[in-house]
């Protein structure tokens, strides 16, 4: 793939595809650790000797770190993309080895927090790096490709984690992932070039936030991110329990369901890569929000049998993934002068949305899955209204004078 036009960038042209592949692999491993908690919540709680609600509270606490996303995520604007990515990857390795070597509830809580910090730092830095080097007209393609690391976690990583848990206990995947993480950190250190000295000062956290908060499209994007994440987490937090209670799914059956979800997300990301740049980012996000609301309402209707439940989850995660990945290239150009800070603010909103969903999900599940899916649909419809009213394609605001130039 060629992303630059001038001859002077020929070396970067050669390196960028390899960097993108390294980002995909890193995100697949990190997201495996992030996502394997959900389907195996009952097994993890039994292994720790604590209630399911206790582990759920730890997940809620993890989501609460979203409050610090602007502070941590903006490191890529103030300190550089490469440094931020390496810091995020290092925190992840520490988190995994901690639980793998000392498997207790306390270390699990710490690891959940550190893993979230690593994502808060790494993801905005990675997307800001891609925003610096990939033209806007091609960012849907690249975002769809890199986001295979999210679906790949459920398609490959989570079933592998289920296999390990069934044979070696709930903490065994953490140690394996930790050692893989070490290798990925070395890969990132080698493949991402050191950034040249800047003649223009990087924006501070305050400057970046001021630029983001002055943009009405950016603020609308932040709220839409919160609503998308809230809607998904309202179902995400309970679907493992729903499958276990309704159909008596065991660990490996839950892992198979995770693989089906991974396939749906893979297709969603493939649709983003193939369609979003042609449709337009804003139109694609709107399409995703509308279909997400519909599939949420269909889920309890389809979920009267094991196969129907799997089909419902397939459609639910397909539309969600298309929506959330389509929104990434749209947000990269809302505030180009503070790109990483903008992406970090969206991460803040998404993590806060997940915290809201993780609080509401179990409470609503008392009344049945239908209560969860109705609220999920309502969140998506509100997001669609905000998108229509306030966000336009490439609707960026004036940049601060001290911001780095693309």
Residue 170 has pLDDT above 70, yes or no: yes
Confidence of residue 405 (pLDDT cuts 50, 70, 90): very low
Confidence of residue 313 (pLDDT cuts 50, 70, 90): very high
Residue 132 is assigned to a structural domain of this protein: yes
- Euclidean distance between CA atoms 285 and 292, whole angstroms: 10
Residue 302 is assigned to a structural domain of this protein: yes
Confidence of residue 403 (pLDDT cuts 50, 70, 90): very low
Quick one: pLDDT at residue 197? 55
Residue 3 has pLDDT above 60, yes or no: no
Residue 113 has pLDDT above 60, yes or no: yes
Confidence of residue 402 (pLDDT cuts 50, 70, 90): very low
CATH number at residue 363: 1.20.1250.20
Residue 204 is assigned to a structural domain of this protein: yes
Confidence of residue 280 (pLDDT cuts 50, 70, 90): very high
Quick one: pLDDT at residue 265? 85
For the segment 129-134, the average pLDDT, to the nearest whole number, is 90
The pLDDT tens digits of the residues spanning 54-111 come to 888 888 788 777 677 677 777 787 788 899 999 999 999 999 999 999 999 999 999 9
Determine how many CB atoms are found less than 10 A away from the CB of residue 303: 24
Residue 406 is assigned to a structural domain of this protein: no
Confidence of residue 394 (pLDDT cuts 50, 70, 90): low
Confidence of residue 255 (pLDDT cuts 50, 70, 90): low
Q: Which residue has the higher pLDDT, 63 or 181?
A: 181
Quick one: pLDDT at residue 203? 61
- In this structure, is the dihedral angle defined by the CA atoms of residues 191, 152, 119 and 321, taken in order, positive or negative? positive
Quick one: pLDDT at residue 299? 96
Quick one: pLDDT at residue 177? 97
Residue 314 is assigned to a structural domain of this protein: yes
Residue 270 has pLDDT above 70, yes or no: yes
Residue 397 is assigned to a structural domain of this protein: no
Residue 371 has pLDDT above 50, yes or no: yes
Average pLDDT for the chain: 86
Residue 294 is assigned to a structural domain of this protein: yes
This model's pTM is above 0.85: no
Residue 198 has pLDDT above 80, yes or no: no
Residue 342 has pLDDT above 70, yes or no: yes
Residue 250 is assigned to a structural domain of this protein: yes
Could you give the number of structural domains in the chain?
A: 1
Quick one: pLDDT at residue 273? 93
Q: Which residue has the higher pLDDT, 5 or 265?
A: 265
Q: Note down the domain range covering 280.
A: 13-193+200-390
């Amino acid at each position: 793939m060629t992303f630059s036009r001038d001859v002077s960038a020929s070396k970067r042209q050669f390196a960028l595809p390899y960097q993108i592949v390294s980002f995909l692999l890193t995100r697949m491993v990190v997201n495996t650790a992030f996502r394997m908690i959900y389907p195996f919540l009952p097994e993890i709680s039994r292994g720790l000797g604590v209630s399911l609600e206790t582990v759920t509270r730890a997940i809620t606490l993890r989501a609460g770190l979203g409050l610090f996303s602007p502070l941590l995520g903006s490191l890529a604007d103030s300190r550089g993309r490469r440094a931020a990515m390496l810091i995020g990857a290092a925190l992840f390795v520490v988190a995994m080895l901690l639980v793998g070597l000392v498997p207790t509830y306390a270390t699990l809580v710490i690891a959940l927090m550190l893993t979230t910090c690593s994502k808060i730092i790494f993801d905005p830095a990675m997307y800001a790096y891609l925003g610096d080097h990939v033209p806007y007209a091609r960012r849907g393609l690249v975002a769809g490709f890199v986001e295979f690391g999210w679906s790949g976690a459920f398609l490959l990583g989570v079933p592998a984690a289920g296999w390990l848990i069934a044979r070696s206990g709930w903490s065994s995947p953490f140690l394996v992932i930790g050692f893989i993480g070490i290798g990925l950190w070395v890969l990132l250190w080698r493949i991402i070039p050191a950034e040249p000295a800047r003649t223009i000062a990087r924006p501070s956290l305050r400057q970046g936030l001021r630029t983001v908060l002055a943009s009405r499209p950016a603020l609308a994007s932040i709220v839409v991110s919160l609503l998308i994440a809230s809607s998904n987490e309202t179902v995400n937090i309970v679907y493992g329990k729903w499958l276990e209670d309704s159909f008596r799914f065991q660990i490996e059956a839950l892992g198979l369901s995770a693989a089906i979800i991974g396939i749906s997300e893979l297709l969603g990301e493939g649709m983003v890569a193939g369609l979003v740049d042609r449709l337009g980012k804003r139109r694609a996000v709107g399409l995703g929000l509308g279909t997400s609301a519909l599939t949420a309402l269909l889920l309890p209707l389809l979920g009267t049998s094991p196969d129907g439940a799997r089909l419902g989850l397939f459609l639910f995660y397909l539309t969600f993934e298309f929506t959330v990945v389509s929104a990434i290239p749209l947000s990269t150009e809302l505030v180009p002068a503070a790109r990483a800070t903008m992406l970090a603010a969206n991460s803040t909103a998404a993590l806060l949305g997940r915290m809201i969903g993780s609080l509401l999900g179990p409470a609503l599940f008392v009344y049945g899955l239908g209560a969860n899916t109705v609220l999920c649909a309502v969140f998506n419809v509100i997001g669609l209204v905000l998108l229509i009213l306030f966000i336009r394609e490439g609707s960026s605001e004036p940049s601060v004078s001290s911001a780095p130039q693309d």
